Amino acid sequence: MMEAGVPFCSTCGEPVGFLSSSSGELFVACHRCNYPLCRPCLEEECRQGRDSCLRCGETYALCGEFPWKESLNDLESGDHLTIASHLQDEQGNGVHARNLSNMSITESELNGGAGNPIWKNRVESWKEKKHKKNVSKKPVKEIHIPPEQQIEANEYPPKAGQPLSSIVPISPNKLTPYRAVIIMRLIILGLFFHYRITNPVDSAYGLWLTSVICEVWFAFSWVLDQFPKWCPVSRETFIDRLSARYERDAESCSLAAVDFFVSTVDPLKEPPLITANTVLSILAVDYPVEKVSCYVSDDGAAMLTFETLAETAEFARKWVPFCKKYLIEPRAPEFYFSQKFDYLKDKVQPSFVKERRAMKRDYEEYKVRINALVAKAQKTPEEGWVMQDGTPWPGNNTRDHPGMIQVFLGSTGAHDMEGNELPRLVYVSREKRPGYQHHKKAGAMNALVRVSAVLTNAPYILNLDCDHYVNNSKAVHEAMCFMMDSSVGRDVCYIQFPQRFDGIDRSDRYANRNIVFFDINMKGLDGIQGPVYVGTGCVFNRQALYGYGPPSLPALPKSSLCSWCCCCPSKKDSKEKKESYRDSRREDLNAAIFNLREIDNYDEYERSLLMSQMSFEKSFGLSTVFIESTMMENGGVPESVNPSTLIKEAIHVISCGYEEKTEWGKEIGWIYGSVTEDILTGFKMHCRGWRSIYCMPLRPAFKGSAPINLSDRLHQVLRWALGSVEIFLSRHCPLWYGYGGGRLKWLQRLAYVNTIVYPFTSLPLVAYCSLPAICLLTGKFIIPTLSNVASMLFLGLFISIILTSVLELRWSGVGIEDWWRNEQFWVIGGVSAHLFAVFQGFLKMLAGVDTNFTVTAKASEDAEFGELYVFKWTTVLIPPTTLLVVNLVGVVAGFSDALNSGYEAWGPLFGKVFFSLWVILHLYPFLKGLMGRQNRTPTIVVLWSVLLASVFSLLWVKIDPFLSHDADSSSGSQGCNSIDC
C-alpha cells in the first residue's frame, strides 16, 4: 500500500514511486511543473524521442541517464527479446502497468500445430515493425529549441497546472436539514406501520390488508429512490485551463480525438432533416477538425438516409465555416434559424447580416432538396431503388444485404468553401442476413465501435440519437475537462450529460423533460459512483467499452496458502481454503476479466483461466487490425496497417457473423439482453470498478425532440419499463450480480435496483388507486377510527412527505410545477405503461413471446404543439380510464350514501372523497389528453357538469319540497311500505 500523498502517473495511473528504495523522496520527472510521471513511463517517453514535458515544455533532465540507446541498437541488430522472456524478467522485478497493458495481454492459449504461441509471434512482429519504423523515420537526437520558443516555454501559463474541474459542494444549510428530514421520515414510517399492522379493520379486513401491503411497497420504493440522493454534488469545468494546457499552439494541439456516433433506423419515422441537423451540428463543433469523426449508423439500410448524408456533406462546406466565423449557437441550422431572438446581439462584423441571409437562403434550398428526397421515398419502386450510376441499391432488402461504408468528408475528401479541412463523415450500414441475431440498437452501436477503431480509433466516443443535436459547441471541451485531467479521468468510464428537449408545451403536461430525474436523481448518483447511462449525450472511454478495468483498480492480495508449512492447518482445510479462494477469484474475473495488473497474483491454474478469458480472438473477433487497435490506449490507427486495406477490414468487422462466439454484447461494448441496453451497459462498467461523472454546463450541451402526445409518450415509457423488467429477470439483475469484485458501492446498487423494480410498483399502485372507489361504493374504509396518537402519526407522515419534497426542491433548484408534473405522470405511467411492461416482460422472458416496438415520431407536421392533441387509442389507456370512471362514480355514490344516511356519515365521507380526489387529480393530465383539443376547451368541463348535476339532483330528491316534513307524516311515511300508501 502506497503512502498517502503519493501522486499517480498521468500516463499509466500507477504511483510515481520514490527516487530510490532507501530515500523517501518522491520521483519527479519535470522539476519545473512537477508533472506526475513515473520512471518507466519517463524512460518510454525518452526512448521514443519525446524528451520535453507535455505540460510546460521543459526538457527532462533525467533522459540522459537512461540506457535506452543500447536497447534500440539491440533492436536494430535483430537481437529482439521475446515477449515471454520479457514478462519473466519483469515479473521478478515488479511488473509495470503500462508494460502489462501492452504486452501481457498478448499471451494466449491459442497455439499452432507445433506448439508455437500464435498471438505471441503476431504481437512481436507488430511491435518489431513499429520500432523499426520509428528508428528509421525518427532517429533519436537531441532536440534544440529556438531561443524565442524557449522564452515562450519558460513563460509557463499558470492556468495550465491547475485542475480542469472542481466539485461545487451544496451548502450544508440546504443539505443537513434535508438529511435530517429523511431520517425523521424513516422513523415516522416505522411508527406508522406499527400502528397500521397492530390496528386491523375487522369490518373490511381484505381492504385493510391490501392497503397495508401497498403502503409497505411504497415505503420500500421510497427508500430505494431516496437514499442514493444522500450526497448530491454539482460540478464546474474550466475550459480556459484545458486550452491553456493542451491548445497553447494550434499546430501542436494535444487534445484527444473523439468519434461521434449517430444511430438511425427508419427515415420515414425519424425525419432525415432532423438527422441531417444533428450531423451538421457535429461537423461544426468547436474542436480541432482533425480530432473529430462522425459515424452515422443506418440500421435500416435506407437509400434515403444515404442520399441525405450526401446532400448534408455538400451543404456542410458552407455551413461549417459560417458557424465558426461568427460563433453561431446552436450549430444545427433548423434550430438556429427558428430561434426567436435578436440575432444581431454580440455580432460586430458588418458582413454578418448579408452572409446570414445568404446562408438562410442556401439552407431553404437544401431543405427543398431533402424534402424532395423524402417525397420520392414514399413509394418504393417495384424493381427496387437504383443509385445514380445505375447500379441497384444494395440495401433494397433491409433484412438481407451486405455491409456498406461510405466516407464523405475527411482529410482526403472535400474541403469547405474557404479551403479548410472538414471533420470525417462516414456512413455505415452493417451486414444483415437471415438467421442471425442482430440485437437492434446495441448491435448497431457495437458495429460502430469496431468500424471506428479500424478507421480512426479515437480514445473517446460520444454517442447521440439522431434527434439530439449539439446545442453547445464547447460540449466536447466540457467532457475533456474530466477525461484529460490526470487526477480525475483515469477512473472515469463515461461523462453523462443531461437530456434537454425542444418542442414541448410550456406546462409540460406529460413530464417529457424529466426534470426531477435529470436535476435531482442524477446529481445524487454523481456523489456516489456516478450517474447511470441514459442512452444519448454520453462521452465514453473506449477502453472501458472493451471490458478493461480502471487503471487504478487495486490488486487483490496474494494467496497466503502454504500447504507445506508445519504450522499450516490440515490438508483438508487447506484444500477448502484454496477452492474458496479460487471461486472468489472466478467471481472477480467475471466482474473485470481484463484486469491486467493482477496477472502476477495468480497461480498457474488461475493464470491459465485468466489468459483463456483474455484470449484476443475469443474476445474481440478475428480481425488483426481491430485487435491491434485495442492495445493502443491513446488511440490512433496502428502504423503497421496498410491504409488501402482499412475499408476492406472495416467491412469485415461489421459482417453479421463477426460476433459469433466472441464476448461482444456479453462483456465488451453495448451489452445485449434488454431493450434498454444503456442501463445494462453502464451497470456492467460500474461493476468493474469504473465511475462516471455528470456534467451540467450552463448552456445545455445537447438538445433533442420528444414524443409529446399521450399515446407516443406512454409507448416510450412502456419500452423503458419493459427493459427494466428484462434486466430484473436476467443474470445481470443488480440484486444478485456483481458481488464478487466488491467494486459496486451499496448506494449505487440501491439506485440500480430502483431502476429495475420501479415497473413492479404498478401492481400496488393500481390496487391503491382502486381502493377509494371501493370504499365509497361499499361504505367501508381501510383505516379504523383514529385516536389522538394515530392522528399525530398521520399528520407527521404528511408533514415529513411535504418537507422532504420542499427541501429536495430547495437544494436542486427544480420548480414546484415540474415536481408536480412528475408526480402526476408517475401515477399515469404506473397504472398504464408500467403495468403492461410487467406482463409483457414475463411473457417475453418466460414464455418467449416477444413484443415489437415501433419508433415514435420525432417531429410534428402540425402547428406548434399540435402533436400534443393527437390521440391514438391503444390498450395501454384502458386501466387509467377505468380508474378514472370508477373513482368518479364512487364520488357520486359516496355523496348519495351520505345524503341518505344523515349527518353522522359526512365525517367519514370527507376522508374517502379526499382519497378519491387524490387519484383524480393525479390522473387529470391523462383525462385532459383523453378528451383531446376540441377548440382548446377540455371536455372535462362537461364531465364535471354531469357530476355536479347528479349531486344536486340527489340533494333535490333528498330535500323534496313537495313532501310534508311534520313528525306524523314522517312517521307515517316511514311506516308505509306499499305503493298505494
pLDDT tens profile 43-78: 777 776 667 776 666 777 777 665 544 443 443 333
Q: Which residues are annotated as a binding site for Mn(2+)?
A: 441, 465
Distance CA 336, CA 325 (A): 15
Mean pLDDT of 347-355: 80
Neighbours of 28 (CB within 10 A): 18
Q: Are 761 and 221 in contact (CB under 8 A)?
A: yes
Name, of 39-43, 578-582, 624-628, 751-755, the range with top average pLDDT: 751-755
Q: What is the mean pLDDT of the chain?
A: 75
For residue 301, give the nearest of 376, 388, 393 by alpha carbon.
Answer: 393
Sign of the torsion angle spanned by Cα atoms 577, 583, 584, 589: positive
Distance, in Å, from the CA atom of 322 to the CA atom of 126, rounded to the nearest integer, reads 44
Distance CA 543, CA 635 (A): 10
More confident residue, 47 or 916: 916
**Measured CA angle at 36 (ends 35, 39), to 5 deg:** 115
Domains of the chain, start order = 7-65 (3.30.40.10), 257-549+665-706 (3.90.550.10)
883 pLDDT above the threshold of 70: yes
pTM recorded for the entire structure: 0.74
d(CA 520, CA 814): 8
Element (H, E) at 369: helix 352-376
Cβ of 233: how many Cβ atoms within 10 Å? 16
What are 405's three cell numbers?
Answer: 461504408
Look up residue 171 and give its DSSP letter.
Answer: P
Annotated binding site for UDP-alpha-D-glucose: 263, 269-270, 299, 440
Q: Which three cell numbers stand for residue 577?
A: 481454503
Q: Report whether 272 contacts 373 (CB < 8 A).
A: yes
Rounded CA separation 601/553 (Å): 14
Pairing of strands 691-694, 492-496: parallel
Rg (the chain; Cα; Å): 33
Which pLDDT does position 485 carry in this prediction?
86
For cell 502517473, name the residue.
Answer: 9
Neighbours of 859 (CB within 10 A): 15
| Portion of the chain with pLDDT greater than 90, in percent | 23
Beta bridge pairs of residue 468: 704
Which residues, other chains included, contact 467 with Cβ-Cβ below 8 Å and sequence gap of 6+?
A: 270, 274, 275, 278, 704, 705, 858, 859
Backbone angles phi, psi at 977, to 5 degrees: -115, -10
For residue 747, give the C-alpha cell.
Answer: 448506494
- How does pLDDT run across 240-273, given as a tens digit for each residue? 888 888 887 656 788 899 999 999 988 888 889 9
Distance between CA atoms of 526 and 496, rounded to whole angstroms? 10
CB of 538 within 8 A of CB of 479?
A: no
Q: Is the pLDDT of residue 737 over 80?
A: yes
AA letter at 265? V
Q: Which helix (H) or strand (E) element contains residue 496?
A: strand 492-496
Minimum mean pLDDT range among 245-254, 653-662, 754-763: 245-254
Residue 683: strand, helix, or coil: helix
Q: Is 425 exposed, middle or buried (0-12, 13-18, 19+ CB in 10 A)?
A: buried
Strand duo 492-496 + 404-409: pairing: unpaired
* Residue 591, pLDDT above cutoff 80: no
Question: Does residue 848 have a pLDDT over 50?
Answer: yes
**Residue numbering of the annotated binding site:** 263, 269-270, 299, 440-441, 465
Q: How far is CA 948 from CA 817, 883, 902, 921, 942, in A?
A: 28, 19, 20, 17, 10
Number of alpha carbons in the 13 Å side-chain half-sphere of residue 13:
21
Catalytic amino acids? Answer: 299, 678
- pLDDT at 755 (0 to 100): 92
pLDDT of residue 66: 57
Q: Between helices 924-931 and 816-830, what is the axis angle to 10°? A: 70
The whole-angstrom separation of Cα 297 and Cα 406 is: 11
Of residues 822 and 40, the one with the higher pLDDT is: 822
